[in-house]
Structure 1
Amino acid sequence: MALETTVKLTVNVVLSALAVSNLMHLLPYSWSQQEKWQEISTEVKHSQGRVNNLRTVFSRYFDPQQAETIMKEQSSRLEPGQRQIFWQDKPAKDAKKVINGE
């Protein structure tokens, strides 16, 4: 009976040692997988922000209510009742005359 108990105890100790050894080999792999998962989740968050921005732009461009506004922004055409204003820089001496009321 003592021999049987010793053999069982020895087998259990060897199995426990093998289990601990395998766990020690798997821990670095698990840590590297967790680091990769963190990197991927960070990239997903950044990509999600870009996707949200692109969805907003997409929905704006394909919104029928905003089509006229977008066409005005992207073209140089004016409505019939509008006039285009051209800003010009005045020379320095003319600017003094305007300020002084001359």
Structure 2
Amino acid sequence: MSLSPSRRPPPISSPPRKPVRRQRRTTPLRRLARHTPTFEVSARLGMNLFLTLVAAVSLGRLVPHLQAQVEQLEVARASLAEAEAANTRLRSDFDRYFDPAQAGRIIQEQTGYRSRSERQIVWTD
């Protein structure tokens, strides 16, 4: 039995084929270009984290040094105040000793000398 062309079963229809798009072969540069923003942001965050860490460590080292400097400054200020007080005292003594108007009083204080015109008064009950 031979089937005539009009009697042949219809061919099995397959869904219409979409044209197949050929995928381009991705080159390493294209793959890298796709991830470049991620790498850039990661690098920036990493660098900022590193700089923050370096700044924190530097501050940690500087704080004790700063405290030592403040203590030395306080000691220097205290010794300066003492030196200024001594300087003031010495200057007043110097001015007193070399003042011609007070020369007689100073001689009397240091030697007990009295002029002849002075009379010693002794008070009694």
TM range (shorter): 0.7 to 0.9
| CA–CA separation in structure 2 for the residues paired with 1:64 and 1:82 | 20
For CA contacts below 8 A with separation 6 or more, give which structure has more relative contact order. 1
How far has the Cα of 1:15 moved from its partner?
Answer: 1.0
| CA–CA separation in structure 1 for the residues paired with 2:81 and 2:114 | 42
| CA–CA separation in structure 2 for the residues paired with 1:9 and 1:78 | 92
Runs ≥4 in structure 1, deviation > 4 angstroms?
Answer: 83-86
CA displacement, residues 2-36 of structure 1 (integer Å, 9 cap, x when unaligned): 21111011011101101110110110010011011
CA-based RMSD of the aligned residues comes to: 2.0
Note the 1:1-102 alignment, pairs <5 A: 1-82=37-118
| CA–CA separation in structure 2 for the residues paired with 1:78 and 1:42 | 43
When the two structures are superposed, what TM-score results if normalisation uses the length of structure 2? 0.61
List alignment gaps of at least 5 residues for structure 1. 87-98
List alignment gaps of at least 5 residues for structure 2. 1-36
Is 73-82 or 40-49 further displaced after alignment?
Answer: 73-82
When the two structures are superposed, what TM-score results if normalisation uses the length of structure 1? 0.73
Is 45-54 or 1-10 further displaced after alignment?
Answer: 45-54
Count of residue pairs the alignment pairs up:
87
Larger Rg: 2
